[in-house]
Structure 1
Amino acid sequence: MKKPLLIAMSLMFATIICAQKDVTQFLGLPVDGSKSEMIQKIKAKGYRNNPYNKDLLDGEFNGRDVHIQIMTNNNKVWRIGVVDANADDEKNIQIRFNNLCEQFKNNSKYVSFQDYSIPDEEDINYEMNVNNKRYQAVFYQKPTTIDSTTTKKEIRTLLLSKYSEEQLANPTEEMQSDILELSLEYMTEKLSKKTVWFMIDEKYGKYRIIIFYENLYNSATGEDL
């Protein structure tokens, strides 16, 4: 392949290559295993049982009192939800949402592909209740395990399903763009398995932020249908 394409692909390998078993982390804990195991691990971090709901754990997270809920699929943890224990008004939730966007953006453990900040002049209540707008931001945890050899082989197999060895050895300018796009799609799919996203939840004019830590290797894919 020509030099610019090799450089671009090398940069992608260096920043977002990941192995199959590298899963999302919450509080430094893999979002994986059984629900009972995960509950005990989170409690060991100082969280406690909610007195009114046995499915929730309570504690402080990122400077806020929160409820933590653990969700499973086929007895494996696939999502952890972190919900504000106390509601905010419209202006404060907008500030908190934007602050969270900045915190994730400036955290070296995460990568994102767009700016989710809410403009200062936006009427959140109107947009949510009249236009059914959903305020959410999506980030991806960078891998902690690197397997560049396997990843390069997988991408090469993907490219060979569309191009011959001879074409890959001397790609046209149009092919270079397509190859880069295919490689980026592969990397994005890998990253998407380690998704961390948050949203604004509104009930009766009161607002909360919910953060979800998801291990999509364990999520439902229709296998039970």
Structure 2
Amino acid sequence: MNSRMGAAGQAVWIGGFNLLPYRQRDARRARRRCLLECLGAALLGCAAVLAVAGWQTFERTRLDTQRVSSEHELARLAPPLAEHARLRHEADQRNHRYTRAVALSAPLMRLLDLLDTLSRLPTDDVALQQLRQRGHETELLATSRDPLGSTLWLKQLSMVRGVKSAEVADLRPLARTGRAVAASGGGTLEFAARLHWDEAAKDAPPSGVSASGPMREPAQPGGVR
């Protein structure tokens, strides 16, 4: 731009031309390029958001379909599963009752085995006076004519099924007066023996079964009189 100062000190236009015309063109191109880049970035961002939203919608629909299918399958399997649970519970109850019955009947079975063995033993040298069953052990009170007879008698009892050990707890001479002499058949020794059984039933209460009086030899094998 060319101008000069007038008389009054004001600028007077005398004409001119732009020496750098490409600057304006480059500036316009830069503005258009920046606008296009911003528009492209906005479009890409919107496309990415739409893609993520579409994928989430697809996944939600797929999961809902699977959930509905699983609910239908569980509803179909509910009766068989309930029946299976009921049968399993009944089987567990039967096993528990069987285990309980075995534990409770163990002292009785031991007593029956012991009585069967006692019924088979001769009573010439040893006479049983009292028997007490206490779950995992049995106490015996008997009279004997000689120590050897009582030892052999106790050895026979130690061979009863389930007996872990047999021991003599007390051995003393028997007084020859009163009912004791008649019951012992003139024996001179009275001894207390104790039988210990294997695998004592922990849940079984003490049976408290006791018997007194001399054991006699049965008329038939295996019987008790």
TM norm structure 2 = 0.24
Q: Relative contact order (C-alpha < 8 Å, sep 6+): which is higher? A: 1
Which of 1 and 2 has greater Rg? 2
TM norm structure 1 = 0.24
Structure with greater strand share of residues: 1
